[in-house]
Amino acid sequence: MEHFNAAPAEEARRTLLTCLDSPHWALLMAGHRPYPDLTSLLAASDEAAYDLTAAELARALTAEALPALPADTYAAAHTALNAAYAAYEAKFGHVFVICLDGLKPDAVLDHVLEGIRSRLANDPEEERPVAAEELRRLARGRLTALLSDGAADHRLSPPDEPDNQGEYPRPSP
- Residue among 160, 157, 166 at smallest CA distance from 8: 157
Domains annotated on the chain, with CATH: 2-154 (1.10.3330.10)
> Is-cis flag, bond preceding 34, omega within 30?
yes
Q: What is the pTM of this model?
A: 0.77
Q: Which amino acid is at 125?
A: E
Q: Quote the CA–CA distance of 99 and 26 in Å, as a whole number.
A: 20
For residue 97, give every residue at least 6 positions away whose Cβ sits within 8 Å of its Cβ, in sequence order, or none: 61, 64, 67, 131, 134, 135, 138
* pLDDT, tens only, 106-124: 888 889 999 999 999 999 9
* pLDDT, tens only, 19-74: 999 999 999 999 999 999 999 999 999 999 998 998 899 899 988 887 776 666 77
